[in-house]
Amino acid sequence: CLWCYTNNTCIDYPVRSILPSSSFCSLSNARWGVCWINFEALIIALAVVAGLILVSVTVCCCYCCYCRRRSRSRLDEEEEQLARKREERRLQSLQRKHERKLKHDEIRKKYGLLQDSDNPYSRFENE
């Protein structure tokens, strides 16, 4: 039902068009369904709601894409930092191992326990 306040008549809604033409009744005087819903207000309200939904979906998508990209880059940075730390620890461990070996070799040399590198299975002789 399309109620027109200019001539106080109820007309069957023109289903062939989305909005009623001005030949039936102007939009400011047209009411839809029940008499208190103004057509202009209905169109404006629907446009505002659709705009808000569209903006909120766009903002959510942009925010999610930004967060994913940021979290991926942050994860890559953390992974790279962990790999660097792991490599530093490995190098420090190798350096400490080499220093311990040198120190042990000095102690063995001091007490005459250093074995010949040619024959590592030579027998230890007490004098």
Residue 96 corresponds to which amino acid?
A: R
Confidence of residue 109 (pLDDT cuts 50, 70, 90): confident
Q: Assess whether pLDDT exceeds 80 at residue 25.
A: no
Confidence of residue 86 (pLDDT cuts 50, 70, 90): very high
Average pLDDT of the segment spanning 66-87: 83
pLDDT at 70 over 90: no
Q: Of 82, 6, 8, 13, whose CA–CA distance to 42 is shortest?
A: 13
> What spatial distance separates the first Cα and last Cα of the chain, rounded to whole Å?
123
Task: State residue 76's pLDDT score.
Answer: 80
Strand partners, 11: 2
Q: What is the mean pLDDT of the chain?
A: 80
Confidence band for 82, pLDDT divided at 50, 70 and 90: very high
Tokens in use for 27?
A: 């939009």
Task: Give 59-69 pLDDT, tens digit per residue.
Answer: 888 888 877 77
Q: Which residues are CB-contacts of 120 (< 8 A; sequence separation ≥ 6)?
A: none
Q: Label residue 98 by pLDDT band (50, 70, 90).
A: very high
| C-alpha dihedral sign at 59, 65, 69, 74 | positive
d(CA 91, CA 18): 75
> What mean pLDDT do residues 93-100 have?
96
d(CA 57, CA 51): 10
pLDDT for 126 equals 61
The CA radius of gyration of the chain, in Å to the nearest whole number, is 43
- Which residues does 115 contact at the CB level (< 8 Å), separation at least 6? 108, 122
Query: Does the structure show a pLDDT above 60 at 120?
Result: no
Within 13 Å and on the Cβ side, how many CA atoms surround 52?
6
